[in-house]
């Protein structure tokens, strides 16, 4: 079975995000959204809801919840 390299990259990046210092979080969230093909522009604000769980507001008005779901996969929900 072949693995999806984009999904794998997004998961690795998101785990790095969870372990990173606060100043890098917006850039990491934007990278995850971009890898998953979600429009954003730039990160206007974000709020940490839990471990590996973020509410994100983009400069273009999009709102997302970004978190690690079942199977250690990055999940992005439109809000």
Q: E strand or H helix at 64, and its extent?
A: strand 63-69
CA 42 to chain CA centroid, nearest Å:
12
Q: What is the signed CA dihedral for 53, 59, 63, 66, rounded to 10 degrees?
A: -20
pTM over 0.85? The answer is no
Q: What is the largest CA-CA distance in the chain?
A: 39
Q: What is the rounded CA–CA span in Å between residue 44 and residue 1?
A: 39
Q: How far apart are CA 25 and CA 71, in angstroms?
A: 23
Per-residue pLDDT of the chain (79 residues; tens, 9 = 90+): 456 666 666 666 666 655 554 557 889 899 999 999 999 999 999 999 988 899 999 999 999 999 999 998 999 999 9
């Amino acid at each position: 079975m072949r693995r999806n390299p984009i999904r794998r990259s997004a998961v690795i990046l998101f785990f790095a995000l969870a372990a990173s210092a606060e100043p890098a979080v917006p850039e990491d969230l934007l990278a995850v959204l971009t890898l998953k093909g979600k429009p954003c522009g730039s990160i206007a604000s974000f709020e940490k809801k839990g471990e590996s769980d973020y509410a994100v507001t983009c400069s273009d008005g999009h709102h997302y919840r970004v978190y690690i779901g079942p199977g250690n996969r990055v999940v992005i929900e439109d809000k």
